[in-house]
Structure 1
Amino acid sequence: MKGHFYRRSCKCKKKNCSCGSKWAFVLDIGIDPETGKRKQKSKSGFPTKKEAEVAAAALIHELEQGNYIEESCQTFCDFANEWLPIYSESKDVKPGTIRVRLHEIGKLLPYFGQLKLKDITPKRYQECLNDLKDRGYSDSTREGIHRTGRMIFRKALEFELIKKDPTEFAYLKKDKKTLEQLEEEELPKYLEKEELALFLKTAKENGLEHDYLVFLILSYSGIRAGELIALKWKDIDFVNHTISITKTCYNPSNNALKYQLGTPKTRKSRRKIIVDEDVIEALKEHKKVQEEVIKRLGDAYYNQDFIFAKMQRQYGYPIVIKNVRDRMKRLLRIAGLNEDLTPHSLRHTHTSLLAEARVSLEQIMDRLGHTDDQITKNVYLHVTQEMKKEASQKFSELMRNLR
């Protein structure tokens, strides 16, 4: 393999150099397929000729073993922009996820934006994660940023743009939390059954347009707000009392005209839920009212079969999640309940009440469309733990009565 060693930028031009210039080497590494000309690799900065020879020998070994990778000079910013569409197309990613990934890339750009991929070392990457913590970013936010960074560098490694993945051994520093902090953080807030009854009563008596039906279905089915908004009449089986979840509605701008329907969150999220007769009867009543509106408005009504369609302005378009959140906050305030609760809290409420009714965790996960969800498990275990205490107390009372 052709090549040579030399002192780079030597000024004294002597055999025994005294100007302190470093050693370098140049090696032929093959033929450029585009030009047909030979390709060369050079590297400099070696204090001695021996060190340059060792580095050259390592390069020759990589070439002979077929392991040589010509690292790219592409910047992190440029490659991240290339990676995002590749990621979105290969995984059938939802628009909301793309928006999150774009946001997380933005957090990495101040650290790596104009750096070449090959120059981003494990130490530099770890320092980025540590600095994000020092700047006050939460554990979950940093986990998301790190997840995105890891995917980008793994794809660069797959494309042979870099030799090593700088994220491979990176870790996230976390503060140790007290037991009280862990319980408060991991156990979401939800309504007790008496509170849920009060909330639904308030929705029935003080709710605005279709509020009662919205919160009745969320409470009695445990479906997500996006799944609820995407519901169409064809998804309701009035005979068998089931609701089919086949899609979700995405609308980050909260502009009713710009809604998007997509597939559910996961494959398991496609499901059919049996609901109470009260839900079916409320749906029938709503259908009658909606049919009257459609008949009155005619072509002015955007009729795409949506159950929860706007009845004022933009007639027929699906309502937006912000509308559901705002309506819920209003009703919670009227009822004197915790105004920090959200539509998703009703999903946790559904979990807790099913657990209290002694429905198994497996059945609950299936109903919610989960393959695995730690928050759901935490709610279930919290409720069942209280039930176990009750069982123990009843046993103790029974034994005391025998004395």
Structure 2
Amino acid sequence: MTNKSKYHPAIKEYHLKDGSKYYRFTVYLGVDSYTGKDKIVTRSKFPSLKAAQVAIDRLKYEFNNGQKPEDLRKTFSDVYEEWEVTYKDSGVVMSTYSKTEGYIKNHILPFFGHLKVSKITVRHCEQFASQLSKKLKYFHHIINYAADVMNTAVRYEYINSNPFSTAKIPKESVHEISDNYLDVEDFKLLNSHLASLDTMVQALLRVLMFTGIRKGELLVLTWSDINFKKKTLAIREAYSYSKHNNGNNVGLPKPKVSRNILLDDVTIDILKQWKQDQVLRLTQLGIKLNKPSDQLIFNNSVNSFLNSYYPNEQLIEAIEKLNIKFITVHGLRHTHATHLAEASADFAGIQNRLGHVVSKNTTGKYYLHVTNTIKQNTLQSLINYYKDHDIQ
């Protein structure tokens, strides 16, 4: 072997048995700040002297800028495997994990899997988003998963920045919703579909559909909030995440007033079934309940609050399967209010059921009290309306 480079004496020329000529080197980069040890790198099979010189220059530049050579060889698939471990440990429910795994293996890995994360550019991200938008109507959640894998690469210092952060992503039609509610026929289809779902998802969507509560109110519900004998649901708190909350994300519901909602018999039965199933699932997970009444009604696999996007994912999946009008989770609240109005329910009863501020006029503020009779008549109006449309 002979040295051929004036600037990099480490480069050596060598020949294979077939006579072909290549270049290789063993070069000292410096002291690794992570291990405190000398970093020595060997590379071979460069077709030209120039290619070997460029490789050394690049390695030294990247090493001096805090990027380790072995990290630069990490592919998206490599980082995904690391991301998957932390994602599982985050407490995501297994049904969500299974769907996420499907999104990644069917859409993300075929595009990014073979690429080195250090080579993924903004253009790659925009091409991926563009292709996805042409195949799927609702695709932003899939892009978010790909971006989160790249965030893991940033967090582990394999790359310095996430190209998704500056990529221009096409808008979803979700943002163009004008009438965010379901008519009674689409509502009927969605309600009929619930029986085919996981017990928890069935209970979760049924409560949203037949009570009109806010998503934040749903996430903090415990079994102590339900009185099965009186068929009531107490709304006392709501979950509202903010980085400024210092971890205190549970507070009073809007408009900072508690309320009790009457439940129909079918909703009560579905909740009873889920309560039994939940005990079995928690036992299988090795989770012991110290005080069952404080148990969250809707929990993740580490028995904590569901991710706030979870109800959205379940609703989107059902809507896509049924091919009905798209609405948001908050649209189920709009739907509940609209159907109550179509059922000619008492206006004060609707206000109370939805947790809206009572009218500020003198009559509403001082003289009108929403009695149990008004609450019962409001619910009964809705039940009768749904019976007329063969909904139970």
Q: TM (normalized to structure 2)?
A: 0.46
Higher relative contact order (CA 8 A, sep 6+): 2
Larger Rg: 1
Q: TM (normalized to structure 1)?
A: 0.45
